[in-house]
């Protein structure tokens, strides 16, 4: 994923049948990390046992047998847009009816609560250093601990850690990584990566369908 401003926005793209309670409030919750949120994250990084502090104690989410797909990346930096492009297309497909789909510039700590409420999380992102257009699916495990870099950079493993520590549940998770050719500012998707987009969609759909059928 290309470098991003620390205050990148995160917008919801909802599947056809997803009807969140208080939808506008939910969108605001994931648009940025507040100063208070940054403070409790810093406390958790410095003293991992602090997740039991009353300030950090959240209600246990109701875990639903459904999937959450998060496509992320900067749409202004060439192939880094592949995650959001995939999420936007997946949100309109009937095969993911009932699944929640999120498209965002970067991962934010506030997404941990959403992740804790599902049984499958699928992340879609561009990856440098891999053959352009190549798709690799990898299982994601929760990080063993948080790093001091969390406030500036959150990855899927860190989100799973937060979901488990703060909300008591981390779901099965996979990263669908797509090899990127360019992260140039203002560039569109490269021809190779754009051609891989249908295969990215098919890969994510299959992960979700296999999980829902097995559950």
Alpha-carbon torsion 202, 31, 157, 80, what sign? Answer: positive
CATH number of the domain that residue 176 is part of: 3.40.50.1450
Does residue 3 form part of some domain? no
Per the structure, how many domains does the chain have? 1
pLDDT tens per residue across span 32-52: 444 444 444 545 544 455 444
Could you tell me what percent of the chain has a pLDDT over 90? 58
Residue 159 has pLDDT above 50, yes or no: yes
What is the average per-residue pLDDT within 2-10?
43
**Could you tell me which residue, 130 or 37, shows the higher pLDDT?**
130
What is the average per-residue pLDDT within 125-154?
88
* SS3 per residue for 69-109: EEEECCCCEHHHHHHHHHHHHHCCCHHHCCCEEEEECCCCC
pLDDT for the residue 95? 58
Does residue 97 form part of some domain? yes
* Cβ-proximal residues to 173 (8 Å cutoff; 6+ apart), any chain: 115, 120, 121, 122, 123, 139, 140, 141, 156, 160
Does residue 112 form part of some domain? yes
Beta strands per DSSP E along the chain = 10-14, 64-72, 100-104, 118-127, 135-139, 172-179
For 30, 75, 90, 162, the CA distances from 34, given in Å and listed in that order, are 10, 23, 29, 16
Per the CB < 8 A criterion, the answer to whether 39 and 71 are in contact is no
Does residue 1 form part of some domain? no
Q: Which two tokens stand for residue 152?
A: 């500036």
Residue 25 has pLDDT above 90, yes or no: no
**The whole model's pTM is what?**
0.75
The total of other beta-carbon atoms located within 10 Å of residue 191's CB is: 11
Does residue 31 form part of some domain? yes
Does residue 4 form part of some domain? no
CA–CA gap between residue 13 and residue 142 (Å, rounded): 25
Opening angle at CA 120, ends 78 and 36, nearest 5: 70
**Could you tell me which residue, 20 or 149, shows the higher pLDDT?**
149
Pick from 50-64, 85-99, 128-142, 151-165: least confident: 50-64
**Could you tell me which residue, 27 or 86, shows the higher pLDDT?**
86
Which SS3 state, helix, strand or coil, does residue 64 take? strand
Does residue 208 form part of some domain? yes
Query: Which residue range is the domain that position 125 belongs to?
Result: 10-214
What is the average per-residue pLDDT within 146-169?
85
Which residues pair with residue 123 across a beta bridge?
A: 70, 175
Which SS3 state, helix, strand or coil, does residue 163 take? helix
Which residues pair with residue 64 across a beta bridge?
A: 118
Does residue 15 form part of some domain? yes
């Amino acid at each position: 994923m290309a470098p991003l401003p620390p205050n990148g926005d995160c917008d919801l793209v909802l599947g056809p049948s997803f009807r969140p309670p208080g939808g506008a409030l939910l969108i605001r919750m994931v648009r940025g990390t507040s100063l208070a949120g940054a403070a409790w994250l810093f406390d958790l990084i410095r003293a991992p046992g602090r997740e039991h502090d009353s300030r950090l104690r959240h209600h246990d989410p109701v875990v639903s047998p459904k999937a959450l797909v998060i496509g992320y990346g900067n749409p202004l930096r060439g192939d880094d847009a592949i995650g959001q492009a995939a999420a936007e297309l997946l949100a309109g497909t009937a095969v993911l009816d009932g699944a929640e789909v999120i498209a965002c510039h970067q991962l934010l700590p506030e997404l941990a609560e959403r992740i804790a409420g599902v049984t499958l999380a699928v992340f879609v992102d561009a990856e440098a250093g891999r053959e352009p257009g190549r798709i690799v699916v990898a299982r994601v495990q929760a990080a063993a601990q948080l790093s001091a870099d969390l406030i500036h950079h959150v990855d899927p493993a860190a989100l799973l850690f937060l979901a488990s520590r703060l909300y008591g549940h981390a779901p099965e998770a996979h990263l669908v990584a797509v090899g990127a050719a360019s992260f140039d500012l203002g560039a569109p998707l490269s021809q190779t990566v754009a051609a891989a987009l249908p295969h990215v969609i098919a890969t994510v759909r299959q992960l979700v369908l296999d999980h829902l059928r097995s559950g």
